[in-house]
Amino acid sequence: MGMTLDAPDFHVPTSWEQALAVKAAHPEAVPVAGGTDLMVEVNFDRRRPPALLDLTRVPELAAVDRVDGRVRLGAGVPYARMITELGSELPGLAMAARTVGSPQIRNRGTAGGNLGSASPAGDCHPPLLAAGAEVELASVRGVRRVPVAEFFTGPKRSVLEPDELIAAVHVAPATGPQQFAKIGPRNAMVIAVTAFALALHPEQRRVGTGIGSAAPTPRRATDAEEFLSGELAAAGLWSSRGPLPESLVTEFGNRVRAAASPIDDVRGSADYRRHVLAVLARRTLTWAWDAHRSTEQRTGRTA
């Protein structure tokens, strides 16, 4: 077909510098990475970008580096690589990546795109929250790092400025067990009805959490984190690695549930989301704590 009908401008930078320059010159240009969110919006006619900024030829975005003891995960790294390359350093993120879509989506979809969409249901977000990750944002004006908990400002809204791009996320490698669990009404290829991530940080005597799909933004269950960290410390459990009292697990679940403010929608009711959050919080804590305890036993035996 000859006719193009005011098709959007299409910018194809081949370096990060160029990409930032294009974004500065054309703040209306919408970045496209894997396209697995954006093209759905376009196909459904919910969005008509005046210009597109293709990020797939920017090599810097596809890199995984180690910077200051943290993993720097390029915004263009697809889920498939998170699974194969980062399973031991970022186990929570890798677990979340395994639950994303289908093999096709995991080959195309990226962490940058997940953050860029800023959906409350994005599966990267809970493990990044639990791990205390930072998002690296860049523009020709410079680079800034934002804790992921401060990145989201509302449903599908973030602190990203019109001239900025997401460069990477910085995540400390796991020092303790991490878990991610996601509820969907079918056993694969499903958007989270509710998701929960948990990370134990034994060296900091701290517990990290992330809640997905149960509030206007992904969020931490801060009160539950503090409660659990405090109780574990008070009972000397971090070092004794003794079993968790049932009441502690239950109360943790209740506090995670209380941290949510879900809605009723086609995917599930608010009540259901609250209910399952408590269950997932209890289960993931139990699994993570069991793993924590057996790590100790293993090192104890080999020492």
Partner 1 sequence: MSTTTTPATTPRPAAGDRTSATTGRIGDSPLRPDGTLKVTGEFAYSSDLWHEDMCWGVTLRSPHPHARIVAIDTTAALARPGVFAVLTAADVPGVNRTGLEHADQPALAEDVVRYQGEPVALVAADHPETARRAAAEIVVEYAVLPALTDPRRALDPDTPLLHPSHPTGNLVREVPVRRGGPVPDAPVVVSVEFEVGMQDQAFLGPESGLAVPDGEGGVDLYVATQWLHTDQQQVQRVLGIGPDAARLHLAGVGGAFGGREDLSMHVHACLLALRTGKPVKMSYSREESFFGHVHRHPAHLRYEFGADDDGTLRYGKAELTFDGGAYASSTGAVVGNGGTLGLGPYRFPVVELVARGVYTNNPPCGAMRGFGCVQAAFAHEYLMDALAERVGADPVELRARNGMREGDPNITGQTIDSAAPVAELIRRVRDMPLPGERGTDLLGLPGGVGNTTHGEGVRRGIGYSVTYKNIGFSEGFDDYSTARVRLSVTAGEPVASVHTAAAEVGQGLVSVQAQIARTELGVSRVVIEPADTAIGSAGSTSASRQTYVTGGAVRAACELVRARVLERAAGTLGVPAASLRLDGDKVVAAGGEVLAGLADVLGDSPVEETTEWRHRPTVEPDPETGQGDAHVQYAFSAHRAVVDVDVELGLVKVIALDTAQDVGKAINPDAVLGQIQGGSVQGMGLALMEEVLVTDGQVRNPSFTDYLIPTVLDTPPMRIEVLENPDPHAPYGVRGVGEPPTISSGPAVAAAIRAAAGKDLRRVPIRPEHIVS
Ligand X SMILES: Cc1cc2nc3c(=O)[nH]c(=O)nc-3n(C[C@H](O)[C@H](O)[C@H](O)COP(=O)(O)OP(=O)(O)OC[C@H]3O[C@@H](n4cnc5c(N)ncnc54)[C@H](O)[C@@H]3O)c2cc1C
108 makes contact with ligand X (CB under 6 A): yes
Length of the chain: 303
CB of 105 to ligand X, least distance (A): 4
Enumerate residues 123-142 that contact ligand X by CB under 6 A. 123
What residues from 86 to 125 belong to the interface with partner 1 (CB under 8 A)?
Answer: 95, 98-99, 102
52-71 positions binding ligand X, by CB under 6 A: 55
C-beta of 252: minimal distance to ligand X in Å? Answer: 25
Cα–Cα distance between 80 and 248 in angstroms, integer? 36
For partner 1, the closer of residues 56 and 287 by Cβ is 287
Binding at 185: pick from ligand X, partner 1, none (beta carbon under 5-8 Å per type): partner 1
Choosing among partner 1, ligand X, none, which partner's interface includes residue 95 (Cβ < 5 to 8 Å by kind)? Answer: partner 1
Fill in the DSSP letter of residue 4: -
Structure tokens at 137: 């944002």
Interface positions, 2-61, toward partner 1 (CB under 8 A): 3, 5, 40, 43-45
State which of positions 264-283 bind partner 1 (CB under 8 A): 266-269, 271-272, 275-276, 279-280, 283
Please say whether the beta carbons of 140 and 226 come within 8 A.
no
Between CA 92 and CA 209 the distance in angstroms is 11
Q: Where are the beta strands (DSSP E) in the chain?
A: 9-11, 29-32, 51-54, 64-67, 70-74, 134-139, 142-147, 152-154, 157-158, 165-171, 178-183, 194-201, 206-212
d(CA 296, CA 273): 34
From the list 31-39, 221-229, 265-273, 281-289, the region that binds ligand X by CB under 6 A is 31-39
CA distance 90 to 87: 6
| Residues found near partner 1 in the complex (CB under 8 A) | 1, 3, 5, 40, 43-45, 95, 98-99, 102, 179-191, 193, 266-269, 271-272, 275-276, 279-280, 283, 287
